[in-house]
Structure 1
Amino acid sequence: MSPSVITLLFVLVFLWEGKALAQDNNQTRIEQIKQTLAEIASPEDKLTYLSAKSSLVEGLSGLEQGQFLHLLAGVQEELQQLDGAIISYTQAIAILEQMPLNPLLVHSYLERSYINYLNSNDANIYCQDRQIGLRYARQLQDPELTVKALSLAAFCFNSAEKFDVGIKLLDEALDIAKLHQLSNNRQAMIYNAAAALYRDHGLHRHALAFFKHAYELWLEIDDTQDIFNMLHNIIGETINLFQWEQADIYLEEMEKLTAAKPEFKDFRFFYHYNFGRKSLFSYDFTQAILHLEQAIALQATTNEVFFVHTSFAFLSIAYIQSGDKEQAVKWANAFNQSASVSSSKQDLVMSMQALGLLGQDKPIESVNILLKTINYEREKFADLLNNAVIFSALDHNSKVAEHENRLLEKQLEIKQLELKAQQDEQEITRLSLWLFVLLVAILLGFLGFLYQSRRFFKHRSQTDFLTGIASRSFTMEEGAKALETCHKLKQPLAVVMLDIDNFKHINDSYGHDIGDMAIRAVAQRAKHWLKRNDILGRIGGEEFLLVLPNNNQQEALLIAERLRVSINEKLFKFKGVELKFSISLGVALSKPQQGFNEQVKNADLALYQAKNAGRNCVSMA
């Protein structure tokens, strides 16, 4: 090898090592910036520090520039400089889009969508970034990132015609979270998104249950911001359900958290905001005015301008209902002039328009707007009733899943039979005498007959002849075993006792054959809600018992409510007879040292309470 070639090789190696060393130095520099930033307490000081380091950005690689801009956007968001944060995230996206796909690009889109949500509360604006982020997250196949993107994207499908799309996204997220055993934080995000979908469709009891589930998960990991957010959502749902005592309990928790965490500056705004709206809707207008004015006085502490402007509207309503027209018109005009009008609820917007016209001495126009508001509420109520479509879809999905499970079981049985036939053929080839073959065949046939007979009589004793589900004796026996297992595993077990309301009237009016069909129909619909380890049995007449291992109170109540609604909203057709009927349900949860029979008695008492409460409802023991 010539000296010139050797010299050239040395130069190339030197240049390559110099480039690699520069990259290592840049990455080290970014890590040092992160470490220093973590040691700075004041957001203002953080911004000053990053501004001083901005001259280094041009010498960094694309990924490192993206990391720096991400740090800068986070500090800007902390300082409520939302426009600056959007610019920083947009710059990061422009740089990262030119590089091979990486998780930082997904985070940039998702974080920018959150800032746009704070600025506009308009799904048409912030959902574009979430759709792009979800597409990239799926390509990366990162479970944590995909679950986050799926949960955020689900918020974008809150219209009735897209509800099933949002639910499918959350089902996908939950499957990934369980498969990869992701953190409580990711699972809580899924429950939070599901609750928001149910809330937007007027299914407030279901929304409340999911919000509480998310709240409990975030409590376990002591995530202060998300704990507070769930308190805000839970209080909103208790107000929608007129559960004033529950609202007071969670308001007290919110006040404690606000006092314990003064560094979260907008907590006090939301405490007064929630106290104010709870007081407004429970007709305590004096308290509503007091707390809503305190919230408005704290508006500079929060980025959530949507809730600030909504507090203007609530304050206007509180004043008009307390008889102060001048103040009511003042705050109605403040709301009407705000930037959040376009993204606010239509009934609230129309009410504020009416009060604004009242201040302009246009009573006729004001009344007309209020009448339109009433018609709007009627239409919204009609849409709420149409949520039966949602339950029909869920019911259909359950049927499909059940059908697929049965097909798999049949295929497995066929494979087992084929294997058995092959084994028999191999055995026969080894037999040397036809007489012995005949004797063996007769013996096998006789044993098979005995086995099938035993299975037949055993199945008959375990099965209710009318419905095909478990008999009373088998239900009680298996229920006791399930309870013992749950006690050992320290898991809850719920039982649901249910029966058909006014069943005697059905028999008397249409005959016992129609009554039998009604009983079978209830059994079939109840089976759709069963999981593999659940037990459903008919324990007498029109009464059924549902045993739910490893189900807590919220889960059991949700299943019972779904079953009640699916029966109540169904028009049954039996031999040309169209029949609507309802069921009442009682739920009881297992207790330490309590036997299964006692738990069933408690469920029966709860069912009795549901009957006394007017039937067609769920009661908890």
Structure 2
Amino acid sequence: MVTFFYALIAAQASVMAAVQNVEEGIEGFDEAVINIEKLVDSNTPAAQLQLKKYGDHFNDLALKQKITYLDLLTDIYITQGQFHLAKQLTTEGLSLTLNLSSPSLLISELLYNRGFANESIGEIELATKDYESGLELAKSLHDNVLTARGLVNLGAIYYLTGRYENSLIVLNDAYNIAKQTTDEKLKGSVNSELGILYAHLDRNKQAMVYYQQSYQHYKNANKTVLSLNSLVNMGLNYLSEKQYDDAIQAFETVINEARNIDEFAINQIMYSTYSGLSRGNLKKKEANPEASYQYLLLSKQYLENIEQYDTERRYYIDEAFVLFELERFDEALNSIAKVENIFALHAPLGHLRKQGHINVIDLKSKIYFQQGHYQKAYELQNHRLSLTRALRDERHTQSIAEVRLALEAKEADLQKKVLKNKQTLQEITLLEAEEKQEQQKLYLLYIAVVALVFAWLLVKLVQGQHKLYKASSLDALTGIANRNEVMRKGKKLFYQAKMKKNNFSVLMIDIDYFKKINEQFGHSEGDIVLKKVVELGKEFMRKTDVFGRFGGEEFIAFLPHTSSEQAKMIAERFRRSVETNDWGNIKASQAPFNISISIGVANSVDFLNEEGFDLAMLINKADQLLFLAKAQGRNQVCT
């Protein structure tokens, strides 16, 4: 009886211990998590080994500990590039969160990790949904760091799918949030994605600034792998700028700094490094295709451990180009066939991948030409041209400046034909007068009178043409050059600057919220604003400059012999003059917003190495910068 009593007490104690264990989990786990998080980046095997101790007792962990365990293991798999396993684990972790009594930030963590896994294996729509869900939860729980992380994730999705304006907006929001925190890893992440975005926008100098800042923030956070990734981005940026020696030096630095890091954590980095060295050696001044091929083989050993579909595509494109330079044409065609299979499975996203597809078709055509298959080469070139036109048209529809320039060109051609017809008519009239004078020598007096009358009419005609030209060349409202006239003069100045290789700057100017002024106070008040802005702008224009109305509330200025810095100074003075002007003479001064302008500044120096560089490209660049100035909050100058 006593034995049974002690047995009963022991059983009750065991049950109570089990209940307590379910509520509290394994003691010491929460403290171990902090150490494991530090090891994930610097020593992944050690992190995995420590975590395994708790995995062996997974069922003894409390609910939140189980979710945290799965989230940490997911971080490890993502670091190692095992994205399918990461996706599987995050889905398991999210199913456990359904048992939580209240929303937890762990849910956002898991959604972000699953989103990144989906993004890496090419499932962009699923990644977007996970990022948006995680961001919504982070905002509802008022966590700034996780909110910024969600914005960074969405910013990457946006630039991958060509939505650059959306990407710029959300990444700037993330940047502003990150500045208010002490989280160096978050700051590194924001700067890294901003760098990639600006690289997509062909602003490699600004991209390099963000990459350098990203590298330093990751160093401050002791995130070695992530800092190496920033170094890789710098190397790729140097390649885009055709600074091949600098690129090679950056990639060699990555190799030196990666010697003591777990190879599973840097598969993607080492692949990108060796493929970058391959491209650098292939394209530098004294090209070395054989060395390029050897570096490519070194990159291939990392390829099988990387689950990102886009990495495989890029590898076989690089391989095809190197083999072509080595005149190993059949092998190059095999590489191209693999690229084409990947394109068939994964439709290319954004302009960069479409351009890559076009480049592959062009290379294939060149190989056929070298092999003597001229008909196949010809057909492929036709296909390439059709795809290039389609991509160009797609870009044109997204560029207001290019559409405007196309219309302006048509108007200029029409005006040229009208003037030519008038000139021909005058020449015919003069010829007839000369013939009559020769045929009627007996009527000298009569001919003289006729000549005087004709001369008088001709003077009147010239005067009328002068008035017509003045009326057709000036904007009726503001009195400055209209679109046709400012473009005519701008082309002349640009041609002179290009021939002499002089500095030439373009300002694209737009009145902020002008539509609101018209809607709220009427077009008459809007006209007053337009005329006053022109009056202020003329104060900063020199005699050699051309300033005109481009259309609506938009103006353009051509500044010959003007550097980018000088143009920015002129633009900034103009902007401040409008901002500080006393608008008390119009009703719009009572508006809840200030009257201001945004300006985009472009300079010819940035295009010196561009083939076929013309005024349209410079104006398009200034228009893009004007667009960025507005996207970043208006009332500013963007260069």
TM-score (norm 1): 0.57
State the distance in 1 between where 2:618 and 2:360 align. 42
SS in 2 for 1:210: helix
Q: Which residue number corresponds to residue 135 of structure 2?
A: 134
Does the 8 Å contact 1:208/1:237 carry over to 2? Answer: yes
Alignment of 1:185-264 (within 5 A): 185-259=185-259, 261=261, 263=263, 264=265
Match of 2:317 in 1: 313
Equivalence map 1:171-570=2 (5 Å): 171-178=172-179, 180-259=180-259, 261=261, 263=263, 264-266=265-267, 267-282=269-284, 284-338=288-342, 342=346, 345-352=353-360, 364-377=375-388, 380=391, 399=512, 467=536, 504=544, 506=546, 525-526=571-572, 562-564=600-602
- Name which of structure 1's ranges 126-135 and 187-196 shifts more when overlaid on structure 2: 187-196
Offset of residue 128 of structure 1: 2.2
Change (3 A) 1:386 1:203: farther
Name the larger-Rg structure. Answer: 2
SS in 2 for 1:564: strand
Determine the C-alpha separation between the residues in 2 that align with 1:390 and 1:169: 24
Aligned residue number for residue 22 of structure 1: 21
Matched residue SS, 1:208: helix
Q: Give, in whole Å, the separation in 1 of the partners of 2:250 and 2:168.
A: 28
In structure 2, distance between residues paired with 1:316 and 1:516: 45
Deviation at 1:164, TM superposition (A): 2.3
Measure, in 1, the Cα distance between the counterparts of 2:303 and 2:557. 61
Output the CA distance in 2 between the equivalents of 1:109 and 1:15.
37
Q: Using the alignment, how far apart are the partners of 2:172 and 2:192 within structure 1?
A: 13
Which SS does the other structure have where 2:172 is aligned?
Answer: helix
CA contact (8 A) 2:80 2:266 kept: no
Decide whether the 8 Å contact of 1:280 with 1:288 is kept in 2.
yes
Instruction: For residue 235 of structure 1, report the CA deviation from its aligned partner.
Output: 2.2
- The structure with higher relative contact order (CA 8 Å, sep 6+) is 2
CA 1:71–1:346: 2 relative to 1, 3 Å: same
The alignment partner of 2:332 has SS state of: helix
The separation in 1 between residues aligned to 2:617 and 2:347, in whole angstroms, is 40
Alignment of 1:567-582 (within 5 A): none
Cα RMSD of the aligned pairs, angstroms, is: 5.3
Aligned-partner residue type, residue 526 of structure 1:
E
Q: Is the 8 A contact 1:316 1:329 kept in 2?
A: yes
Gaps (5+ residues) in structure 2?
A: 1-12, 405-506, 518-533, 548-554, 560-566, 581-597, 608-615, 623-638
- Mapped to 1, the partners of 2:271 and 2:376 lie a distance apart of 35
Which is further off, 375-384 or 111-120? 375-384
CA contact (8 A) 1:134 1:146 kept: yes
Deviation of 1:148 after TM superposition, in Å, equals 1.1
Task: Give the Å deviation of 1:273.
Answer: 0.8
- 2: CA distance, partners of 1:48 / 1:516: 64
Which is worse superposed, 323-332 or 343-352? 343-352
Q: 1:83 to 1:304 in 2, by over 3 A?
A: closer
Asked whether the 8 Å contact 1:529–1:563 carries over to 2, the reply is no
Separation of aligned partners in 2, 1:326 and 1:580? 39
Q: Distance in 2 between matches of 1:528 and 1:177?
A: 33
State the distance in 1 between where 2:374 and 2:99 align.
60
TM-score, structure 2 normalization: 0.56
Q: Which amino acid aligns with 2:144?
A: P
Paired positions, count: 440
Please list the CA deviations of residues 289-316 of structure 1 after superposition, one character each: whole Å capped at 9, or x if unmatched: 2221221134245454532431221111
**Within 2, Cα distance between the matches of 1:516 and 1:334?**
49
SS of 1:563's partner is strand
The 1:468–1:331 alpha-carbon spacing in structure 2 relative to 1, beyond 3 Å, is closer
Change (3 A) 1:227 1:307: same
Percent pairwise identity = 11
Provide structure 1 residue ranges, at least 5 long, that are not aligned to the other structure.
1-13, 405-464, 472-498, 508-514, 536-559, 570-578, 586-617
State the distance in 2 between where 1:333 and 1:530 align: 58
Structure 2 partner of 1:111 = 113
1:470 to 1:176, Cα distance in 2 relative to 1, 3 A: farther
Alignment of 1:13-52 (within 5 A): 21-23=20-22, 25-26=24-25, 28=27, 30-31=29-30, 34=33
Specify the code of the residue in structure 2 equivalent to 1:191: N
Distance change in 2, residues 1:262/1:105 (3 Å): closer
Distance 1:149 1:368, change over 3 A: same
Deviations 1:173-193 (A, max 9, x none): 223223x33333322322222
